[in-house]
């Protein structure tokens, strides 16, 4: 039995009569917003008597929460569905039912095409309709093949349950909180505006209520999520329009909440108030994920990023003046249609001048329905692969240099969970690197002072001070 199921009631009584215990297995692909959504869907199903299981073969309901951002991510889903089809057959032979559902961005983008391509699938549900999942699942269990991919008129956040207290305890001392969803930027390579819809901000009161619930359940660090999180805005209680900087300052007033982070940001939405929050808020961690995608103005224009490389660099300078200790992270795409060797060199130069503490880099993947897919001059795979390798070598060097420069520094460390070795706990540095330290299990949730002693390939090592 997992820790999670151990905390759940053993004989849940749902709306109807006594509902027999059913098990749900959720597999999450892609970004942190999918992680957040998967938790909310599990919470919603718990009301109907579903308990989470880690064993797919035991599940009455298998839900894949999918990612459509690159071709590879989407293809993974179909291979998983192939394996599940066999499992479903095997279970049927034992007289047991298994409902298979597909949620997330593949569900939104492909809709009933999934039912055609993967006949074992019973239910397809897009990210805007997750509050309808319990109902949709009932229909699927009744034999209907259900597709729910409308952009719902009602706000899913009004209907989805807030994080469950007991489960939040089991999930740990850090949590995600979605404050904004969707995107109106329409970068020409990206499917997000089509799968997640237009930019929508959750209201201040809803966010504060959820944050307070999380903190009551023991959460000490919250990461605000949004595809364009720094485009978040809402009516403040005093009637003024708030931006993300205002929201962070208000969240910073919650007693017991020790740390705040946010992701993912767009350079065009980094306003003065948000930069000021980095200067003045000790609770706001000195880490910023600010994707630039390319260092070439020509490619940035073709990508519809609506800023130049020089503007991006000037922005970084301003943020670093406000918070000199800032670790920067970025996303890069190599081989966008028309990218020449010279364009790629511009990206390498930009990377050299920024010095990222962490970065994610990808070969351009043509996505059906996006303007990029229509462009001539697609770059050959082998050229993309070579460029990616060169870029990743450089980024990895910067990441190692950044980690090495942390050795000897004293930091506050939030202890999150058991480490790999007995007697160790692991937490995150202010710059998001995992840090291992000798500490007792009972110290999970504490913030302790440590000195960083060593930098490993993927994590840091530290010793307690005092
Ligand atoms: N091909 C490659 N990478 C992509 N990304 C988004 N769309 C594509 C695509 N079509 C990358 C971007 C984005 C990150 C989440 O994924 O770098 O910032
Ligand atoms: Fe995609 Fe661009 Fe929107 Fe980011 S800003 S989600 S890359 S369209």
- Does the beta carbon of 193 lie inside 6 Å of ligand 1? no
Give alpha helix (H) positions in 355-429.
371-374, 381-406
Which pLDDT does position 12 carry in this prediction? Answer: 40
Which pLDDT does position 165 carry in this prediction? Answer: 78
Which pLDDT does position 10 carry in this prediction? Answer: 36
- Does the beta carbon of 336 lie inside 6 Å of ligand 1? no
- Does the beta carbon of 183 lie inside 6 Å of ligand 2? yes
Ranges in the chain, pLDDT < 70: 1-20
Q: Look at residue 220 and give its three-state secondary structure.
A: coil
- Does the beta carbon of 293 lie inside 6 Å of ligand 1? yes
Is the dihedral angle over the CA atoms 177, 178, 180, 186 positive or is it negative? positive
| pLDDT tens sequence across 236-286 | 999 999 999 999 999 999 999 999 999 999 999 999 999 999 999 999 999
Q: Distance, CA 264 to ligand 1 centroid (Å)?
A: 12
Which pLDDT does position 313 carry in this prediction? Answer: 98
- Does the beta carbon of 460 lie inside 6 Å of ligand 1? no
Nearest CA to ligand 2 atom 2: 187
- Judged by its nearest atom, the ligand closest to the C-alpha of residue 199 is 2
In terms of phi and psi (left: phi > 0; alpha: psi -120 to 50; beta: otherwise), the region of 408 is left
What distance in Å separates the CA atoms of residue 458 and residue 460, rounded to the nearest whole number? 7
- Does the beta carbon of 292 lie inside 6 Å of ligand 2? no
- Judged by its nearest atom, the ligand closest to the C-alpha of residue 194 is 2
* Beta sheet of 174-178, edge-to-edge order: 174-178, 221-225, 259-263
C-alpha closest to that of 133 among 58, 26, 209: 26
Which pLDDT does position 168 carry in this prediction? Answer: 77
The percent of the chain in helix, strand and coil, each rounded to the nearest 5, is 40, 25, 35
Which pLDDT does position 155 carry in this prediction? Answer: 79
CB 105 within 8 Å of CB 196:
yes
What distance in Å separates the CA atoms of residue 362 and residue 334, rounded to the nearest whole number? 6
Which pLDDT does position 151 carry in this prediction? Answer: 84
Pocket test of ligand 2: the residue of 186, 191, 267 to mutate, having most ligand atoms within 8 Å of its CB, is 186
Q: What is the 3-state secondary structure (H, E, C) of 132-188?
A: HHHHHHHHHHCCCCEEECCCCCCCHHHHCCCCCHHHHHHHCCEEEEECEECCCCCCC
| pLDDT tens sequence across 20-75 | 689 999 999 999 999 999 999 999 999 999 999 999 999 999 999 999 999 999 89
């Amino acid at each position: 039995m997992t820790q999670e199921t151990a905390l759940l009631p053993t004989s849940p009584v749902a709306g109807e009569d006594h509902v027999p215990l059913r098990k749900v297995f959720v597999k999450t692909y892609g970004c942190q917003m999918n992680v957040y959504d998967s938790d909310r869907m599990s919470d919603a199903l718990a009301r109907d008597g579903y308990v989470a299981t880690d064993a797919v073969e035991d599940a009455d309901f298998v839900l894949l929460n999918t990612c459509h951002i690159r071709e590879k991510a989407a293809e993974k889903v179909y291979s998983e569905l192939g394996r599940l089809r066999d499992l479903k057959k095997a279970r049927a032979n034992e007289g047991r039912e298994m409902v298979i559902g597909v949620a997330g961005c593949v569900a939104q983008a492909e809709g009933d095409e999934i039912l055609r391509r993967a006949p074992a699938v019973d239910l397809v549900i897009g990210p805007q309709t997750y509050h309808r999942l319990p109902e949709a699942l009932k229909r699927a269990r009744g034999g209907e093949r259900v597709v729910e991919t409308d952009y719902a008129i009602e706000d899913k956040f009004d209907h989805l349950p807030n994080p469950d207290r007991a489960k939040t305890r089991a999930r740990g001392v850090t949590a995600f909180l979605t404050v904004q969803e969707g995107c109106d930027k329409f970068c020409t390579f990206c499917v997000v505006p089509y799968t997640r819809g237009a930019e929508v901000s959750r209201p201040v009161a809803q966010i504060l209520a959820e944050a307070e619930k999380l903190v009551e359940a023991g959460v000490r660090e919250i990461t605000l999520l949004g595809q364009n999180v720094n485009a978040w805005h809402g009516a403040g209680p005093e009637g003024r329009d708030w931006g993300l900087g205002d929201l962070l300052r208000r969240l910073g007033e919650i007693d017991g909440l020790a740390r705040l982070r946010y992701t993912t940001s767009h350079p065009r939405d980094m306003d003065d108030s948000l930069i000021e929050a980095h200067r003045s808020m000790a609770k706001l961690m000195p880490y910023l994920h600010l994707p630039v995608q390319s260092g070439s103005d020509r490619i940035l224009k073709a990508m519809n990023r609506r800023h130049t490389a020089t503007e991006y660099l000037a922005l970084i300078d301003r943020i670093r003046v406000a918070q000199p200790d800032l670790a920067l992270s970025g996303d890069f795409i190599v081989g966008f249609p028309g990218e020449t060797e010279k364009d790629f060199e511009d990206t390498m130069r930009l990377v050299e001048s920024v010095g990222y503490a962490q970065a994610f880099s990808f070969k351009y993947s043509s996505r059906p329905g996006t303007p990029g897919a229509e462009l001539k001059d697609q770059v050959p795979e082998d050229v993309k692969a070579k460029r990616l390798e060169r870029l990743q070598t450089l980024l990895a060097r910067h990441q190692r240099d950044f980690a090495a420069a942390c050795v000897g520094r004293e930091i506050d460390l939030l202890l999150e969970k058991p480490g790999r070795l007995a007697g160790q706990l692991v937490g995150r540095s202010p710059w998001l690197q995992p840090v291992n330290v000798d500490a007792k299990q009972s110290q999970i949730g504490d913030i302790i002072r440590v000195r960083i002693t060593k930098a490993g390939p993927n994590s840091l090592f530290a010793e307690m001070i005092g």
